């Protein structure tokens, strides 16, 4: 019984942390630009697919490193081509653009990689190796996912709090005009947020790939979950997204014990709807801040 509970908790935390990273990806771009980048899920897919392809020629760590860099560059490309030249676009226009981009990237991925389901190899061991935690047998990859997601969160916090560039990005989110009056090139900071968002998405895609596998359209699913989590935590609040992600992950896994498997996906959507109805500023967001935002 205990083993089974531990098993559920760990697998809930695993998918939950991936949702959290996807949500943080939304938040970084949302904070910098006020827009929801619906192509966030595609960053995850492109990161994983690129790493899978590269891992045929390169050692795994290098393949992942290049995949992260390439996805970051894709993020920069998207921003420079589709976002940068827009002069104060409306929210609706941005939504349409990013949804369009997400479809475009997905179709391009279909052409590049076909529709086969692939997966990156396990970071340590293989499908059958397992470690035991409180009697529960889990794949070592689960520990990789938890570890890397935790590392991403810690590093992002350090970056935004203590580095000049991180502080500049925060300055741009809080007041663009004031930031440029400090001498900060606000457009470059927006590009950088897209790169950052792409990079962490790609890294998340790589660590999860051995467990969940990757296909050209797997981004959509994660994008929806990530979005639900971002809204649940309160848009723009990355630490809240972590908590919200873990909660959603746990709810999903435990729902299997009381509901048919097919309903797990409905959980996050139900949460999204409930939050939007009753607490649009999110679980941890304050109402004031929620009202100040653009939607």
Partner 1 sequence: MIRVRNLESGYGALRVLKGVSLHVDKGEIVTIIGANGAGKSTLLKTLASIVRPRSGTILLNRAPVVRSSAETIVAMGCSLVPEGRHVFGAMTVVENLALGAYIQYKRGKKYEIEEDLPYVFSIFPTLLARKTQLAGTLSGGEQQMLAMARALMARPGLLMLDEPSMGLAPLMVKELFSVVRRLRDEGKTILLVEQNAKAALGVADRGYVLETGRIVLEGASRELLDNKDVQRAYLGKEYRKINE
Binding residues for partner 1, how many (CB under 8 A)?
Answer: 16
Cα separation, 274 vs 107, in Å, equals 32
The two three-digit tokens of residue 44, written as one number: 């995850």
The structure tokens listed for 199 are: 């990079």
Residue 239 in contact with partner 1, rule: CB under 8 A: no
Could you tell me how far CA 80 lies from the centroid of its own chain?
A: 21
Question: Ramachandran region of residue 121, left (φ > 0), alpha (ψ -120 to 50) or beta?
Answer: beta
Least separation in angstroms between residue 84's CB and partner 1 is: 13
Smallest distance from partner 1 to CB 94, Å: 21
55/168 with CB nearer partner 1: 168
Helix H segments across the chain? 2-33, 40-54, 60-78, 91-113, 140-162, 164-174, 176-181, 186-212, 218-233, 238-258, 264-278, 287-292
> Is 183 one of the binding residues for partner 1 (CB under 8 A)?
yes
Should residue 182 be labelled a site residue for partner 1 when binding is judged by CB under 8 A? yes
Q: Which residue lies nearer to partner 1 by CB, 106 or 176?
A: 176
Question: Dihedral angle at the C-alpha atoms of 49, 55, 57, 60, nearest 10 degrees?
Answer: 150
- 3-state DSSP assignment of residue 214: strand
Q: Which of residues 150-179 bind partner 1 (CB under 8 A)?
A: 164, 167-168, 170-171, 174-175, 177-179
Residue 126 is a binding residue for partner 1 (CB under 8 A): no
Q: Cβ 238 to partner 1, closest distance in Å?
A: 13
* Residue 195 CB, nearest approach to partner 1 (Å): 19
For position 86 contacting partner 1 by CB under 8 A, the verdict is: no
- By CB under 8 A, tell whether 196 contacts partner 1: no
Which residues lie near partner 1 (CB under 8 A)?
164, 167-168, 170-171, 174-175, 177-185
């Amino acid at each position: 019984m205990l083993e089974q509970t531990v098993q559920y908790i760990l697998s809930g935390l695993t998918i939950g942390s991936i949702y959290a990273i996807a949500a943080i990806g939304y938040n970084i771009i949302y904070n910098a630009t006020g827009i929801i980048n619906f192509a966030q899920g595609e960053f995850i897919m492109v990161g994983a697919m690129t790493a899978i392809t590269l891992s045929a020629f390169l050692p795994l760590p290098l393949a992942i490193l290049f995949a992260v860099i390439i996805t970051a560059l894709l993020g920069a490309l998207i921003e420079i081509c589709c976002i940068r030249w827009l002069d104060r676009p409306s929210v609706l226009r941005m939504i349409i653009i990013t949804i369009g981009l997400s479809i475009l990237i997905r179709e391009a991925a279909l052409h590049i990689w076909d529709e086969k389901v692939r997966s990156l190899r396990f970071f340590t061991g293989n499908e059958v190796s397992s470690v035991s935690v409180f009697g529960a047998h889990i794949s070592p990859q689960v520990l990789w996912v938890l570890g890397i997601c935790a590392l991403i969160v810690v590093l992002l916090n350090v970056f935004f709090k203590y580095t000049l560039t991180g502080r500049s990005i925060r300055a741009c989110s809080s007041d663009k005009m004031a930031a440029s009056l400090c001498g900060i090139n606000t457009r470059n900071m927006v590009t950088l947020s897209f790169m950052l968002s792409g990079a962490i998405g790609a890294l998340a895609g790589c660590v999860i790939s051995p467990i969940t596998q990757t296909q050209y359209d797997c981004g959509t699913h994660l994008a929806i979950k990530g979005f639900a989590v971002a809204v649940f935590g309160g848009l723009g609040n990355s630490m809240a997204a972590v908590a919200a992600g873990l909660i959603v992950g746990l709810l999903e896994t435990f729902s299997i014990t009381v509901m048919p498997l097919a309903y797990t996906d409905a959980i996050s959507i139900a949460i999204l709807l409930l939050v939007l109805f009753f607490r649009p500023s999110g679980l941890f967001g304050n109402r004031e801040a929620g009202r100040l935002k653009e939607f």
